[in-house]
Structure 1
Amino acid sequence: MTESINKDHFEIRLAQEEEIQLLCDLAAGEGWNPGLRDIECFYQADRTGFYIGILKGEPIGCISAVKYGNNYGFVGFYIIREPWRGKGFGLAIWDHALASLKGRIIGLDGVVDQQDNYIKSGFKLAHRNIRFEGKAKALTSKASSLVDVKNLPFEQVAAFDAGCFFEERKAFLKAWLGEEGHMGFAAVEDQQLKGYGLIRPYCDGYKTGPLFADNSGVANDIFNGLCAEIEGSNIILDVPENNADGLLLAERYELVQSFETARMYKGGSVDLPLDRVYGITSFELG
């Protein structure tokens, strides 16, 4: 597969590092509210996984197709700017992204009204993710088990993260943990890591992700601690619908459903431990 294609003055090519912010700008224009510094971290996940579509020198769309290890991929940032929709450019950039992930199980978190189109491309629904929003408010004092996740050995955090995700994602995670403005807690009991969660700023508050925990009590301790750090600010939590305890967590903190996505896979199924996933990392990277 070539790195770029040309058709009627339309080119699809890899985004260079200095161009990567364009993807977040287009997402913000769609009202997706990406984290303020998400894209720099996303780029560390796979520098060959971000594409822009250019028509006669003007960028009109984008998509990401990030590779995880040898077996998985995830599609996000699928956007064509309004004036050029319905003209075939979206399908071209979509096909290009899927081709770059050939032979892998491919996941995505798509808007619900596009499910039929994804099904036509071979995707199958796995579950929904529900976005909850509200004001951050700690319900209890900070749990004694909580420590700043950045103070733990990185390999310990990476190993726990891999057990709740497709597989290891060390380059991304190192950037995610270290990014300015990203705050996180881990729950440690008897020197064992039981869960961790991060919040990061977006234009109108903070987004949670990930929030991984061995059980609901640990998840509550972590989320309560995160809320205490940003008391009164807007907070977002994206919960897999299959995690009943995660839905109860959102209800306990009086968060209100505002949006949902369809988690879908192509090329096979993924048996993620959703009972440990109380907040997905992002709709863009899974």
Structure 2
Amino acid sequence: MNSEFAVRPMRPGELELVLEWARQEGWNPGLDDSNAFHDADPSGFFVGVLGEVPVASISVVKYGEDFAFLGLYIVHPDFRGRGYGKAIWNTGMASAEGRSIGLDGVPAQQDNYRKAGFEEAYRTVRYGGVISAVPESTLVAQAVSGKLDGLLRYDATIFPAPRPAFVASWCATRKDRHSAVVRKSGKIRGYGTIRRCYEGYKIGPLFAADKDSAAALLSALTPHAKGAKVFIDIPTSNGEAVELAESMGLAPVFETARMYRGTAPNVALKNVFGVTTLELG
């Protein structure tokens, strides 16, 4: 390994560079993901540099005192096989010492993650395609607006830890990003976000109390895609979520495994109709 190699926190503009690397890897991030990613944990993003040239990256975003999520683990193709990946991995893991750590691993890397102490909790399949039919629902979802207190409390009942800064930024309405919430008798039954990506749109999170609530959210969110492809990352154990995706004409694209090192959080997967993002959990 080159003695000039060093790992340090990302500086302004470098997260955008790493998301471009992610695009080149085929991960298809959102066009405006960097703001919400940074807001989740400004101290959770690292870059490996040779002099001042970034060559590797990792994010280990900390959610509270007990949980963190690892993503954006990339070594630029021109600099692989030189030990830079192991060095930045060690720095990222050390930054979340004492916490359970989650990640979404592609099949080719899962054995490596197991060697690092991660164990599979469940599989996630990305469904994608042009929507051929919008599911019907007895409920009507509305755009997220105003105070987010109730939505933040709802999110914290499903995601492994509270993430108020991330959710507030993720749900901020922008040109290519829209969020919706569905209520019944005044109580939140689910919420979701659709955002434009380099290819098509992704929906995530898609958290809902039941299939009817998820269908209402999909009916509100999918028109924003305007005929472009839509992608949703779905835990395979949620059969109702898979049924909804297939009813819209979506088909499996690829799969990952949610893996944890340390105590796996108790996640109600029956309420996860779509994972928020494979990079941050």
Matches within 5 A, 1:76-95: 76-95=71-90
Amino acid at match of 1:45: A
> Displacement of 1:140 after TM fit?
5.4
> Displacement of 1:143 after TM fit?
5.5
Whether the 8 Å CA contact 1:138–1:225 is kept in 2: the answer is no
Whether the 8 Å CA contact 1:130–1:260 is kept in 2: the answer is yes
Equivalent residue for 2:12, pick from 17, 37, 60: 17
Whether the 8 Å CA contact 1:136–1:231 is kept in 2: the answer is no
Matches within 5 A, 1:171-190: 171-180=165-174, 181-190=176-185
Structure 1 residues 179 and 148, CA gap change in structure 2 (3 angstroms): closer
Could you report, residue by residue, the CA deviation over 1:28-55 in whole angstroms, capped at 9, with x for unpaired residues? 1111110000111100000000000101
> Displacement of 1:228 after TM fit?
2.7
Could you report, residue by residue, the CA deviation over 1:231-285 in whole angstroms, capped at 9, with x for unpaired residues? 4111010001111111111111110111111110001111101000000000000
Q: Does 1:47 find its partner at 2:47?
A: no
Name the residue aligned to 1:243: 238
Q: Does 1:262 find its partner at 2:238?
A: no
Whether the 8 Å CA contact 1:137–1:232 is kept in 2: the answer is no
Equivalent residue for 1:97, pick from 79, 88, 92: 92
Could you report, residue by residue, the CA deviation over 1:163-194 in whole angstroms, capped at 9, with x for unpaired residues? 11012111111111115221122111111110
- Gapped runs of 5+ residues in structure 2? none
Amino acid at match of 2:246: E
In 1, the alpha carbon distance for the partners of 2:57 and 2:93 equals 13
In 1, the alpha carbon distance for the partners of 2:154 and 2:91 equals 33
Name the residue aligned to 2:218: 223
In 1, the alpha carbon distance for the partners of 2:137 and 2:269 equals 25
Q: Does 1:192 find its partner at 2:182?
A: no
> What is the TM-score when the length of structure 1 is the normalising length?
0.94
Name the residue aligned to 2:279: 284
Equivalent residue for 1:37, pick from 7, 32, 38: 32
Name which of structure 1's ranges 171-180 and 228-237 shifts more when overlaid on structure 2: 228-237
In 2, the alpha carbon distance for the partners of 1:267 and 1:28 equals 30
Name the residue aligned to 1:66: 61
Could you report, residue by residue, the CA deviation over 1:58-98 in whole angstroms, capped at 9, with x for unpaired residues? 11110101000000000000000112212211011111110
Matches within 5 A, 1:149-188: 149-151=144-146, 153-180=147-174, 181-188=176-183
Whether the 8 Å CA contact 2:133–2:247 is kept in 1: the answer is no
In 2, the alpha carbon distance for the partners of 1:96 and 1:82 equals 20
Percent identity reads 38
Name which of structure 1's ranges 78-87 and 15-24 shifts more when overlaid on structure 2: 15-24
In 1, the alpha carbon distance for the partners of 2:18 and 2:173 equals 18
How large is the RMSD of aligned CA atoms in angstroms?
1.6
State how many pairs are aligned. 280
SS for the counterpart of 1:285 is coil
Query: Where in structure 1 do 4 or more consecutive aligned residues deviate above 4 Å?
Result: 140-144
Whether the 8 Å CA contact 1:136–1:228 is kept in 2: the answer is no
Whether the 8 Å CA contact 1:138–1:231 is kept in 2: the answer is no
Whether the 8 Å CA contact 2:194–2:222 is kept in 1: the answer is no
